[in-house]
Amino acid sequence: MLFLALFFGLFMFYPLGYMFQAALWPEGHFTLELFRLLFLSPFQLECIWNSFQLAIIITALTTLVTLPVAHWFSRYSFPGKALLSGLLLVPMIMPPFVGAIGIKQFFARFGTINLWLDQIGLVPIENGIDWLGAGGFWGVVILGVLHVYPIMFLNVTAGMANVDPTLREAAENLGARGWRLFRTITLPLVMPGYFAGAIIVFIFAFTDLGTPLLIGYTRVVSVQIFDKVVEAGTNPFAYTLVIFVLLLTVVLFLLSKKLTGGKSYEMMGRGHAGEASLPASTARRCLIYGGTLGLLLVALLPHASVVIQSIAQHWFMTPLPTEISGQYYAEVFRHPLTLSSIRNSLFYSSFSALLDLVLGVAIAYILTRRRVPGAHVLDAIAMLPLALPGIVLAFGYVAGFNIPVDPQHPPVAWYQWLHDFVDPSANPTLLMIISYSVRRLPYIVRAAVAGLQQTSVTLEEASLNLGASPLRTLLRITMPLVMANLIAGSILTFSFAMLEVSDGLMLAMKEAYYPITKGIYQLIGRVDPSAPSVACALGVLGMLLLTVSLLIASKVLGKRMGQLFHA
């Protein structure tokens, strides 16, 4: 507990406290002047309003997409259900900012769709439709919805599967059918699961950095925070934006607790999907297959566009490439930037997964095997990173671990070493590993807790009764019994760290330390015509890695997979 307290204190609460101090006590005394200036700035108000619009619309559209699909998959049985359920999670395998590369190629003013419309004579290319809309606003919305709806789907489906089927049967016996049954029985009982997913979706949409950057929709809060990273040590106004985002996150969670905390959602029994599912009629099957396949067709479009771009040898002013080649995949392993970024990401992700394994096992063991005062607080802290925006923590690291060095007056050796080892402007390796670890710690904690809850404690008690020490019992008895869960959780933490966006873009300031996501971002900004294809090839390799990881984790964790994304 002492070690965990030190870790969270130094790498979570210290950066957050540092930013609060810089925003509220900029000159040694408490003041709200910076916040007053923030809300007096027309430009900053526009950025805040744009971010709110994105978050509200993405959350609303995600809800409209997810609720009917979750209802179908939790209420009815039909051929191919398991396969379609797995395919619905595919959009999670790619950060939306990678998909933005291909989407721009398809939906830009001179992109594939407008060129097709010009060829068939519907819309002349000089009057091409602005599909991305309002400077890229709708492009960000579409990519956001397609990326985060699986998280909502997992939460809502799990909630619906747990609804006691006898409640629905009682309502049906009293005459409720169709929409009325769903509105009065099912929907109220899944509100906790829905709010858990909706909050994560809203926060993601409000703080997403990569997609607006690549689409070019820069008047949002996340991009403004990113632009102020270089001023972290000198401009106190930058902290105000970060604290605003953090306070918004806290308010949203308190609001969700208020909305769901005043009502009782307890049921005498828990639902069992197999028992509660009804055979879908022919007409309903057509609706389910049509709706699901239509959603998948749209959801996989960014992935398809990235794959096509990665093999496009020549693609200019034509709907599709006129020449294709696999040379860019070979170039990924020859290009200096991509090669070093792969090497860096492997290093950062491997050590962060190892650190997560140690922390996750310790936290899960305390939560399930020990009665420790304040264990519920530890559980809440461990899950906090799911709701903590990446840009907030990354900016906190940049600001809080800034160790200035005056080149005109060389510091003492220990101070120089601290600067070289900790300050991200000099070497971000340590903080990259820590940030990846903190952000993905909830996955390994939930996976380890699930494994320990499924394992009888009597085996450990027998080991202790035979004279084994607690540590020996943990290593020889407990760990082997939950090894599958730990492997699944570790694979997830490793894979998601490989494609982490906010930390990579903000902490890695020198090319020698770029991870994969920062490498992709830099390639897109280069004049070299082959750079976007190399970036897409790198993105496809990342997708393949995360696909395999999710399949393994889903196989091991089963229905508990949804708990990993439950704040």
Q: In whole angstroms, what is the distance from residue 205 CA to residue 144 CA?
A: 7
pLDDT value of position 289: 92
Higher pLDDT among residues 51 and 528, named by residue: 51
Cα dihedral value 494, 498, 350, 398, nearest 10? -110
Question: What is the DSSP-derived secondary structure letter of residue 27?
Answer: T
- Answer whether residue 499 shows pLDDT above 60: yes
- For the segment 240-246, the average pLDDT, to the nearest whole number, is 88
The count of other CB atoms within 10 Å of the CB of residue 322 is: 12
- For the segment 9-29, the average pLDDT, to the nearest whole number, is 88
- For the segment 497-513, the average pLDDT, to the nearest whole number, is 87
**Please, which pLDDT band fits residue 52 given cuts at 50, 70 and 90?**
very high
Q: In whole angstroms, what is the distance from residue 542 CA to residue 479 CA?
A: 30
Q: SS3 of 50, please?
A: helix
- Answer whether residue 259 shows pLDDT above 90: no
- For the segment 242-271, the average pLDDT, to the nearest whole number, is 69
The count of other CB atoms within 10 Å of the CB of residue 493 is: 29
Q: What is the pLDDT of residues 447-470, one digit of tens each?
A: 888 788 877 788 888 888 988 888
How is residue 27 written in tokens? 């000159």
> CATH 3.30.200.20: does it fit domain 2-22+37-565?
no
Phi and psi angles of residue 474, each rounded to the nearest 5 degrees, phi first:
-60, -45
Q: What is the pLDDT of residues 54-84, one digit of tens each?
A: 999 999 999 999 988 988 888 788 888 878 8
Q: In whole angstroms, what is the distance from residue 209 CA to residue 206 CA?
A: 9
Q: Are 23 and 36 in contact (CB under 8 A)?
A: no
Q: Would you give the end-to-end CA distance of the chain in angstroms?
A: 22
What Å distances lie between residue 80 and 70, 76, 155, 285, 288, CA to CA? 15, 12, 21, 11, 11
Q: What is the pLDDT of residues 74-112, one digit of tens each?
A: 878 888 887 888 788 777 766 777 777 777 778 877 888
**Please, which pLDDT band fits residue 263 given cuts at 50, 70 and 90?**
low
Q: What is the pLDDT of residues 266-297, one digit of tens each?
A: 554 544 444 457 788 888 889 999 999 999 88
Question: Comparing C-alpha atoms, which of 533, 535, 118 is closest to residue 318?
Answer: 118
pLDDT value of position 553: 64
pLDDT value of position 550: 67
Q: In whole angstroms, what is the distance from residue 532 CA to residue 105 CA?
A: 10
Q: Are 556 and 487 in contact (CB under 8 A)?
A: yes
**Please, which pLDDT band fits residue 134 given cuts at 50, 70 and 90?**
low
pLDDT value of position 62: 93
Q: Are 555 and 542 in contact (CB under 8 A)?
A: no
Q: In whole angstroms, what is the distance from residue 216 CA to residue 211 CA?
A: 8
Q: Which residue is listed with tokens 């609060």?
A: 20
Q: Any idea which of 131-140, 219-228, 231-240, 333-342 has the lowest mean pLDDT?
A: 231-240
Q: In whole angstroms, what is the distance from residue 179 CA to residue 195 CA?
A: 21
Residues comprising the chain, all counted: 567
Tell me the domain boundaries of the chain.
2-22+37-565
State which H helix or E strand residue 166 sits in.
Answer: helix 165-173
- The pLDDT mean for the chain works out to 82
Question: Comparing C-alpha atoms, which of 342, 44, 393 is closest to residue 209?
Answer: 393
pLDDT value of position 556: 63
Q: Are 330 and 464 in contact (CB under 8 A)?
A: no
- For the segment 424-444, the average pLDDT, to the nearest whole number, is 90
Q: In whole angstroms, what is the distance from residue 242 CA to residue 23 CA?
A: 9
Q: Any idea which of 10-19, 377-386, 537-546, 558-567 has the lowest mean pLDDT?
A: 558-567
pLDDT value of position 316: 76
Q: In whole angstroms, what is the distance from residue 205 CA to residue 203 CA?
A: 5
Q: What is the pLDDT of residues 309-318, one digit of tens each?
A: 888 887 777 8
Question: Comparing C-alpha atoms, which of 250, 60, 248 is closest to residue 149?
Answer: 60
Task: Provide CB contacts within 8 A for 109, sequence distance 6+.
Answer: 128, 130
pLDDT value of position 273: 42
- For the segment 155-172, the average pLDDT, to the nearest whole number, is 77
Q: What is the pLDDT of residues 371-424, one digit of tens each?
A: 888 788 888 888 888 778 888 888 889 888 988 877 777 778 888 888 888 888
Q: Any idea which of 258-272, 358-372, 469-483 has the lowest mean pLDDT?
A: 258-272
Task: Provide CB contacts within 8 A for 551, sequence distance 6+.
Answer: 86
